Chain A
Amino acid sequence: MTDVPLLNVQDLSVAFTAEGATTRAVDGLSFTLGRERLGIVGESGSGKSTTGRAILGLVPRPGVVTARRLRFAGEDLLGLSRRQWTRYRGRRIAMITQDPKFSLNPVMSVEAQVTEAYRLHHGGGARAARRRALDMLDAVAIADPDKVARLYPHQLSGGMAQRVMIAAMLIAEPDLLIADEAVSALDVTVQNEVLGVLDRLVAERGMGLIFISHNLTAVASFCDRVLVMYGGRVMEDCDAGSLQAARHPYTRALLAAAPDLDHPRQTLSVVARDPAWLA
């Protein structure tokens, strides 16, 4: 068990070709992940989300995914057929997306949406699924699961909706959860609440977590390890605790650009990018 990492990514590239020009959104990315919390940070367009989608086999056309190795719990993901992928998604690897308001079907009740993944992967009757769904809603700290299960998405607040989303994604008990900007659309107090729920569930279930965010401080405090990406490449791969001691100039610049309440500055520093990083 300890020998096989949960996720082993070697030299992952995602290329988009349009009008003759090829853009590499992800360029030779390598990392391994155990049952830990890995944060991926980077600016817009650095390939964070594309990495997450590539792991789920959901890179939109005309994107092409190549890798020397893309293994999940020792199984090769590169050669999966469409049918095999649908058995993987949700069941083994799940993903939470940015905006819960749009990620829930407006005309289906919370219960129907939370039970969806469970019924897809575990089958079983409506009753068993309903019981599981109520347990799950309870687990994501929703006060009155019985009542909330009957509500529709427009009746939920943002934080509640995201917790429902988490419940829907974790009900099939995946081994790896990818949270793509999972709390960025929520306001700060709610963010902490949802992060707390996520943290507890991941710890309780011993899942792996990939936490994709542009919020360096949130990642540093929430994750075990941090991957800093720029231009589709890894700039820095270090323990979250030692992020402040990061050596790469890009990470240093990002840290320096963050505002600090205790030492307010008139102008924040601008990140100077060095083309040599991508050479």
Chain B
Amino acid sequence: MTATDELGGWVAEAAPTSPGQARLRRLAGGARHLGRSPLAVLGFAIVAALVLAALLAPLVAQGVSPLAQNLGARLEAPSAAHWFGTDELGRDIFVRTVYGARATLAIVALVGVIVVPIGLMVGTAAGYAGGLLDGVLMRLTDVFLAFPSLVLALAFAAALGPGIVNAVIAISLTAWPPYARLARAETASIARSDFIAAVVLQGASTPRILLRHIVPLCLSSVIIRLTLDMAGIILIAAGLGFLGLGAQPPTPEWGAMVAAGRSVVFDHWWVSTIPGLAIFSVSLAFNLVGDGLRDVFDPKDA
């Protein structure tokens, strides 16, 4: 019997003897549950590959710069030297796609970091206070929700000017309302529970109640919602890049790369298709992961 077998047996033991073991057991159970869905596994694999590619981009690209031009080798078809071919400036599309993962991940991560706190703040405040504040904040989110998010993001990006940072701000400005609604709904039910009343009795102030007692309870559903939204965020980011409002050349960004290949798409299909496939597979992967996570964390309709 090997050490891993023993460990596996200990984790799977029906009657855990410590909270740590129970927690591990639950984690293992969740992982196994995820493992049963091949699609979720595929999603996880693609996302993992994306993260690895972004982290180890220089290694994966074998030292080739995504900005290195070679005008003698313009628009070459995929070959052993250039796996995905080259673009109109002779840059290696494989290398640019790998580096493009960085831009995509950075945008997704930044949007998540900005949107979740804003949504939680607005939502919990509205749900806890109720009354007038609730009405004002929720009507405000309704105003944002009334516009299609891509159109609104375009408007903000156009007003703020092109660039990755502005793209992040524009996407964040359009992405927070669903989180506010979600947090409000959760808060409204939590706020009426006895344990919140008990903390009020202990003399906790309203900000403390929100931060310490309500936000942690809203977090799980908000995070699941975020993984499901990732695909949409990637698509909007790529859309902004495609329209020239996101990352600016020569930065490798998938949306901008698709746009660059547009004029030559009939003769040199790979220039647009490869980054397009990257966008497609990554957003699909995030969707699969989100679905898988929801099934594990929220087994109501499984």
By a beta-carbon cutoff of 8 Å, the part of chain A in contact with chain B is 56, 58, 83, 86-91, 94-95, 97, 99, 102-108, 116-117, 120-121, 150, 165, 168-169, 172
Contacts and interface: CB of A to CB of B under 8 A. Distances in A.
15 contacts: A58-B197, A58-B200, A86-B204, A88-B203, A89-B202, A89-B203, A97-B198, A102-B195, A104-B195, A105-B213, A107-B216, A116-B202, A120-B208, A169-B201, A172-B203
A164 to B, nearest CB: 11
B19 interface: yes
A94 B71 CA distance: 79
B19 A168 contact: no
Contacts of B195: 102-106
Contacts of B198: 97, 103-104, 165, 168
Closest 4 pairs between A and B when the two form their complex, measured CB to CB: A90-B203, A102-B194, A89-B203, A90-B202
Contacts, number: 63
Given A102-B193, A102-B194, A116 B204 contact: yes
B201 A97 contact: yes
Contact of A89 (B193, B194, B201, B217): B201
Contacts of A83: 205
B89 interface: no
- Interface footprint category on B: 10 to 19
Given A83-B205, A121-B203, A165-B198, 5 more contacts: A58-B200, A90-B203, A91-B203, A103-B194, A107-B217
A117 B197 contact: no
Nearest to B195: A105
Nearest to B217: A107
Contacts of B19: 150
B199 to A, nearest CB: 7
A120 B208 CA distance: 9
B200 to A, nearest CB: 7
A83 B194 CA distance: 22
A169 B198 CA distance: 9
Interface of B: 19, 193-195, 197-205, 208, 212-213, 216-217
Contacts of B201: 56, 58, 89-90, 94-95, 97, 169
Contacts of A89: 200-203
Centre residue among B198, B204, B205, B216 by max chain A CB count within 10 A: B198
B203 to A, nearest CB: 3
Contact of A86 (B203, B212, B213, B217): B203
A28 B110 CA distance: 59
Contacts of A150: 19
A150 B200 CA distance: 23
Nearest to A95: B201
Nearest to A116: B202
B194 A97 contact: yes
Nearest to B19: A150
A121 B203 CA distance: 8
Contacts of A116: 199, 202, 204, 212
Given A105-B213, A107-B216, A107-B217, A97 B197 contact: yes
A117 B203 contact: yes
B194 A99 contact: yes
Centre residue among A91, A105, A165 by max chain B CB count within 10 A: A105
Nearest to B201: A95
Given A107-B216, A107-B217, A150-B19, A120 B194 contact: no
A172 B217 contact: no
Given A99-B194, A103-B195, A120-B208, A94 B202 contact: yes
A83 B203 CA distance: 10
A95 B203 CA distance: 11
A169 B202 contact: yes
Contact of B197 (A91, A94, A103, A107): A103
Nearest to A83: B205
Contacts of B208: 120
A209 to B, nearest CB: 15
A117 B194 contact: no
B169 to A, nearest CB: 33
